[in-house]
Structure 1
Amino acid sequence: MALLWVSVFVNIGLLGFFKYYNFFVDAFVDAFSLFGLSIQPNTLNIILPVGISFYTFQTMSYTIDVYRGKLKPTRDFISFAAFVSFFPQLVAGPIERATHLLPQFYKKRSFEYSKAVDGLRQILWGLFKKIVIADNCAEFVTIIFDGYGSYSGSTLLLGAVLFAFQIYGDFSGYSDIAIGTARLFGFDLRQNFAFPYFSRDIAEFWRRWHISLSTWFRDYVYIPLGGSRVSQWKVLRNVFVIFIVSGFWHGANWTFMVWGALNALYFVPLLVLKRNRVHTGVVAETRLLPNFREFVGIGSTFFLTVIAWVFFRAASMQEAFSYLQGVFSRSLFSMPEVRPRFLFVLLLLFIVVEWFGRREQYAIERLWLGYPRAVRWGIYYVIAMLIFLYGGKEQEFIYFQF
């Protein structure tokens, strides 16, 4: 037990110092200023190690699983070091569990053509998501968010919607590239996104968005707090704890915590009404299109998610509230002042492909496998050409900062 707590405190301590030192100093100063006391503390110009949140949680899962008896401690330092620093997912996940990834380093691997082709296919789709969808959305998102005070409500809503697609294309695109690259080397990484914008409620959304982080907080925070096996009030407390901690994990800014708290508020009615496990399968699994009820569920869930994303994107709480105030103004029903027509076409194409591939691990995994080889290769070349022709200006991966 002592060694477990030493490991946890060291990991949390390093993460807290590099990521949250200045945040806590500023909060300390603000607290004293309420009593009329002025403090001039020294803050540090700390360079945040890339991906520290991801590999910190990954090593913590190893320690905790060893303590729980789910995994035998490894005596192979090289394999353990490779598990911690596995390059495809080192800087932005998925957050892998030692029980799943570490044993793969013990096995002898040989090249498998089918796995390599599958990996390349997933990398291709990940690149399309990132370079064509996310990077093109980012240009307009930056313009709208930076000048939010001078735009109509419809334009601001468009900016928030484009950011929803930007962050999804950016992060799920990186996950696809990481998972596909790992498969080239014979490693299997877990799915990190399962078409979350086709969710019919917020509970389903969080089962499909950033799955490796959501399940990490479930297994190592929510369940140890009692999960859903305690009183109703404690269950609600646990929900708010994991959502707010999840927000705080993303960065040292109140906007992230409000983003987490807002998602908790979305989640609570489903939990109270015991409807948080209603939608566990794929939407319209045996049908081409969703029915009216499913369509309304998808639309309302997406809208709530878009509103929450404003807090995630905004630089401050004041900016977030001002932005939302602008969204819900009389100009909400006017024509947007920014109309990226070519981007709408790309987004429509993207949504259609994702919809038809929603039953798979990634959209184009099996989408055209029944077609002749010439047709399949032609489609892959078209996707590659779209990447070259419509790739937006180079944008850093959003989750590199976390």
Structure 2
Amino acid sequence: MLFDSPVYFLFLILVTAIYWKLGFRAQNRLLLAGSYFFYGWWDWRFLFLMAGSTVIDYLIGSAIASSQDQRKRRTLLTASLVLNFGVLAYFKYLGFFIHSSERLFPSLAAHSLKHTLLMIVLPPAISFYTFQEVAYIVDVYQRKVEPAHSLEEYALFISLFPHLIAGPIQRPSHLLGQVQQPRTFDSTKFFHGCMLIVSGILRKCVIADNCATIANAAFTGKLGHGWLPHLLGIYAFAFQIYGDFAGYSDIARGSAQVLGFHFMVNFRQPYFSTSLQEFWRRWHISLSTWLRDYLYIPLGGSRHGEFNTYRNLFLTMLLGGLWHGANWTFVIWGMLHGIGLGVERLFGGATADSAAARRFQPVRALLVFHFVCLGWIFFRATSLHDAMHYLRGFTQSSDVYQAAHFIPPLFAFVVLCLAMDIFMERSGTEYFLQRFSPTIQTAGAAAVLLLAAFAATGQASPFLYFQF
């Protein structure tokens, strides 16, 4: 059930209409049933995996919270981490490691095992709900949050459908309390939730999907070869993935808000960043803060000398890259950002906020953007061979006329995206037009929906982060 599909909006309208007629406990039960229906829409068999891990982690969390024996608590924590990451590794990475081992050691290739692994299907959202379960167990272990009062509450915290498939990754301290408290209808928040959904439709269906047409043509060679098609392709993909994921996040946050929940902002105009560190404070904020709190800091953070700090930065970004997918392209992407953050810390961290540095902010922003675009090549390519082939294209001459007619539409979508971001950056708002009157916002929403209808590409374009 895709967020930009008619069936999802029909589902959301029906759930919302019934939801606000029920009492608190009945609301939670409706959302839990609706969330499992939403998840089972892809394949009902995956419900057993999510339900099983939910029950086990709920029981382990309760046992950790009630025990005063530190050794027992640590054993339970370890068991939960091994279980969660073990299941994730099996479904997401086992085939990758077997395939990589076979390429390194052909004589050890297990032909029958390889074909068995091809039957492993990656369950939707497993990376997202696994990270959420880990955050809960660790926070309960560290006594930062109280355990869920019931299995029903914990199951809803894990499976609430607006965040289930691709985040934002919710923290127990933020969402679990909202699950446990009655929600009251607020017409203003409901309206803002609807506007967030419209904002997401604009970013996804108008900007991202049309940029995807250009990016796909460039990366598959249909746009031609040489520096201009490849340059257009990487710019198109940069705004495709941004519009795609920011649009998803807006729809997720808006869907939650019409139900009385509040989700954290997941994007804050990341392409205006003047450093890589700032980029990761603005891009996929729920993931970057999760990696900081549950990986970088436990590794030691910056507490044990410069060498260990650089090591921890590199490992965090390397594993963050691997989290996105079982492919060496994601490993390289994570390594690039790890190296970039290390170099930035070594040479520029101390003076990043100086008066001289502020004068060169536009130049710094362009440099950071193009470094990010370099990484997007590996993120988008299906293999290292394809990524290197794409990079080599920048050194080749190109037929300018063949690709030139794609420049105006790409320019229009980029300008639209940046105009929205400039307004939001200066106004401090969470969506475009938020500062205007409800009448103007409603008219703007109608215009966006008409634009989305006319600008639709006519091709299915699933959200990129659904694969993670």
Distance 2:189 2:351 in 1: 33
Distance 1:258 1:193 in 2: 23
SS of residue in 1 equivalent to 2:78? helix
CA 1:301 to 1:27, structure 2 compared with 1: closer, same or farther past 3 Å? Answer: same
Cα RMSD, aligned residues only: 2.2
Distance 2:136 2:358 in 1: 43
CA 1:77 to 1:24, structure 2 compared with 1: closer, same or farther past 3 Å? Answer: same
The amino acid of 1:231's aligned partner reads: G
Indicate the residue corresponding to 2:201 in structure 1. Answer: 127
SS of residue in 2 equivalent to 1:6? helix
Distance 1:86 1:224 in 2: 28
Which of 355, 369, 387 matches 1:320? 387
Indicate the residue corresponding to 1:351 in structure 2. Answer: 418
Indicate the residue corresponding to 1:286 in structure 2. Answer: none
Q: More helix by proportion, 1 or 2? A: 2
Indicate the residue corresponding to 2:92 in structure 1. Answer: 19
TM-superposed deviation, 1:93: 0.3
CA 1:77 to 1:361, structure 2 compared with 1: closer, same or farther past 3 Å? Answer: farther
Q: Give yes or no for the alignment of 1:9 onto 2:77.
A: no
TM-superposed deviation, 1:377: 2.9
Structure 1 segments unaligned to the other structure (5+ residues): 281-289
Which of 48, 69, 84 matches 2:122? 48
Distance 1:181 1:391 in 2: 22
Q: Give yes or no for the alignment of 1:153 onto 2:227.
A: yes
Distance 1:119 1:377 in 2: 12
Indicate the residue corresponding to 1:197 in structure 2. Answer: 271
Indicate the residue corresponding to 1:57 in structure 2. Answer: 131
CA-to-partner distance for each residue in 1:73-96, whole Å, 9 max, x for gaps? 123111100000010010000000
TM-superposed deviation, 1:358: 1.6
Indicate the residue corresponding to 1:337 in structure 2. Answer: 403
Which of 164, 168, 172 matches 2:246? 172
Aligned 8 A contact 1:148 1:156 in 2: no
CA-to-partner distance for each residue in 1:97-116, whole Å, 9 max, x for gaps? 11110011111111100000
Distance 2:350 2:218 in 1: 35
Number of residue equivalences: 387
Distance 1:177 1:134 in 2: 14
The amino acid of 2:76's aligned partner reads: L
SS of residue in 2 equivalent to 1:29? helix
Distance 2:215 2:84 in 1: 35
Aligned 8 A contact 2:321 2:330 in 1: yes
Distance 1:398 1:23 in 2: 20
Indicate the residue corresponding to 1:386 in structure 2. Answer: 451
Indicate the residue corresponding to 2:467 in structure 1. Answer: 401
The amino acid of 1:217's aligned partner reads: L
Indicate the residue corresponding to 1:94 in structure 2. Answer: 168
4+ residue segments displaced more than 6 Å: none
Identity of aligned residues (%): 39
TM-superposed deviation, 1:265: 1.7
Indicate the residue corresponding to 2:364 in structure 1. Answer: 297
TM-superposed deviation, 1:292: 5.9
